Structure 1
Amino acid sequence: MSGHAPFPPEVIAAVLRHMNTDHADDCRVICQGLGGQPTATAAIMSGMDADAMEFVATVHGDPVAVRVPFSSRLTERRQIRAEAARMYREACAALGQPPRPDAS
């Protein structure tokens, strides 16, 4: 396994499933606020590695690949949730909208 991909495929699959099932709107907000796609109407998480989350955003009806870097390289699974929450809060701030009350 390379240093670029410390997470096994089953962990990545679980993260994708969780983000796309429980946090689909958060994915859109992250792409809008941090991914350079302010007009995205939807987004799904499509992958991740130690350095970033990857999404496919819907922009003007078309799929657009978006890569949003983590604040630092991740080495442990538990860091993923904290980074996803940080991305969401920072994206909300960038968009000038309040985060969900339960976003931590």
Structure 2
Amino acid sequence: MTGQPFDADVVGAVSRHMNDDHAGDSLLICRTLGGCPDASRARVTGLDADGMDFAVTLDDIEVPVRVPFAHRLTERAEIRREVVRMYEQACAALGVPPRRAD
């Protein structure tokens, strides 16, 4: 097994971007792929080559949730593709159309 391909700067930048611009996407992902259908909030707390970590609010209590990636990531560019895949999978599971990327 190789080491962590993403340094703290990358993890911080991705986490901030997800939390600032895609909080709703994180919530959908955690409600479906994270097994928390009753979650009221989700924020990214970290990631590594194998998955993304969230803090999910359930009944006003924040709990950690890890959502594994479909495969091990080795490059930063793969993160966006994998998060989009997870978002689209979450939308499909909920029967809602994904928004179009502009």
TM-score after normalising by structure 1: 0.92
AA aligned opposite 1:34: L
In the TM superposition, what whole-angstrom CA distance separates every residue of 1:15-72 from its partner, at most 9, and x where no partner exists?
0010000001101000001000001011000010000001011111111111111110
Alignment of 1:9-24 (within 5 A): 9-24=8-23
Partner of 2:97: 98
Partner of 1:56: 55
Unaligned ranges ≥5, structure 1: none
In the TM superposition, what whole-angstrom CA distance separates every residue of 1:51-102 from its partner, at most 9, and x where no partner exists?
0001011111111111111110000000000000000000111112111122
**Structure 2 CA distance, aligned partners of 1:4 and 1:70?**
16
Q: Which consecutive segments of 4 or more residues in structure 1 shift more than 3 A?
A: none
Partner of 1:68: 67
CA contact (8 A) 1:53 1:69 kept: yes
Unaligned ranges ≥5, structure 2: none
Partner of 1:37: 36
CA contact (8 A) 1:4 1:49 kept: no
Aligned residues: CA RMSD:
1.4
**Secondary structure, in 3 states, of the residue corresponding to 1:36?**
coil
**Structure 1 CA distance, aligned partners of 2:26 and 2:45?**
10
Deviating more after overlay: 58-67 vs 72-81 = 58-67
AA aligned opposite 2:98: P
**Structure 1 CA distance, aligned partners of 2:87 and 2:3?**
23
**Secondary structure, in 3 states, of the residue corresponding to 1:63?**
strand
TM-score after normalising by structure 2: 0.94
Number of aligned residue pairs: give it. 102
